[in-house]
Structure 1
Amino acid sequence: MPTSTGFSTIYAGIGGLHVGDMLVQLVFFIILLLLLRKFAWGPLMGIMQQREEYVANEIESAENSRKEAEKAQEEAAAQLKQTKQDAQQIIEDAKRTGVKQEQEIVQSAKEEAERIRQAAQEEIQNEKEKAIQALQDKVASLSVLIASKVIEKEISAQDQEELINEYIKEAGEER
């Protein structure tokens, strides 16, 4: 049963509430909140603010790193493309140089073959002329011998020389 002994006690019989105690507890609670706000909440919020700034800086740093990595990747791709183009150009230049050298070697071989052929023709011509000259000399001496036997007369050295020259001249015209 509730007894009322005053305003300060409400339902004291069932463990009631004392208004004075409540007011004291409320005052201490408010003091505790003020102390917590000053010594715990402020530093805690400062730490949380620092942590928030740290996380924001880390996110920004990570974003910058990602952008730099993308830029580096693009540069590497461009450099790889340029390297491939340079390699292709080198290969094409080497092919052109090879073809040019091949043509030069073939041309040089043709020129050398032509030079050898001309030298051989000149040598053949010289040998032919030597053979003709030897044959003319032999024919001249045989002609003189035959002519002297056919004529059976003495021919003077001057007449013989004229006959030889005339025969050589005729043999040269036939050639």
Structure 2
Amino acid sequence: MELVTPGIGLLFWQTVTFLIVLFLLGKFAWKPIMNALHEREASIENALSAAEKAKLEIQALKADNEKLLAEARLERDRILKEATEAANSIVEASKQKANEEGARMIAQARESIENEKRAAITEVKNMAASLSLEIAEQILRRELSDKTAQQALAQDYIREVTLN
């Protein structure tokens, strides 16, 4: 049974050795291990805070991008509206100018037609007058070809003049 029960000397030396190893580990190994653990913990905390900060910056950038996108859309809509209004005003101006030009051309055509009509009426009157003179001349020549007809006509004119 001696193998199972340890001796007092062995227990003493095991305790002394354990305390020496514990002292040496505490003096030389425990502090560097703890410092390394603290540094590792600090670096993990720094990395987490940097990740959180980056996440917040990304959210801020997303919000800025959305804002810029909305502004760009508004600007695009404004430019399209202005272009449409400009096109409409140009079309309206062109229509109005075409209407005015058409009205002016119609007025000129009417005036030209009226002038041509007056000229034609004047020419017809002149032709009628000259035809009337020619007819009257021919009638008078025929009637006044003999002397007795001339005297009768003169007597008729004298009677008409005295009656009036």
Give structure 1 stretches of 5+ with no counterpart.
Answer: 1-11, 154-175
2-side partners of 1:134 and 1:13: how far apart? 166
In the alignment, what sits opposite 1:90?
Answer: 79
Indicate whether 1:55 and 2:57 are aligned. Answer: no
Instruction: Give CA deviations for 1:137-173 in whole Å, capped at 9, x if unaligned.
Output: 21222232233334447xxxxxxxxxxxxxxxxxxxx
Q: Tell which has more relative contact order, 1 or 2 (C-alpha 8 A, sep 6+).
A: 1
Match of 1:29 among 10, 18, 26: 18
How much identity, in percent, do the aligned residues show? Answer: 30
Which structure shows the bigger proportion of residues in helix conformation? 2
Q: How many residues align?
A: 142
In the alignment, what sits opposite 2:88?
Answer: 99
Aligned 1:1-175 pairs, distance under 5 A:
13=2, 15-152=4-141
TM-score normalised by length of structure 2: 0.77
Instruction: Give CA deviations for 1:12-55 in whole Å, capped at 9, x if unaligned.
Output: 84643333332222122111111111222111111111100110
Give structure 2 stretches of 5+ with no counterpart.
Answer: 145-164
* 4+ long deviations beyond 6 Å: none
Letter in 1 for 2:123: A
Q: Which piece of structure 1 moves more, 48-57 or 129-138?
A: 129-138
Structure 2 residue matching 1:17: 3-state secondary structure: coil
Question: By how many angstroms is 1:63 displaced?
Answer: 0.2
TM-score normalised by length of structure 1: 0.72
Letter in 1 for 2:67: A
1-side partners of 2:129 and 2:4: how far apart? 173
Q: Which piece of structure 1 moves more, 142-151 or 72-81?
A: 142-151
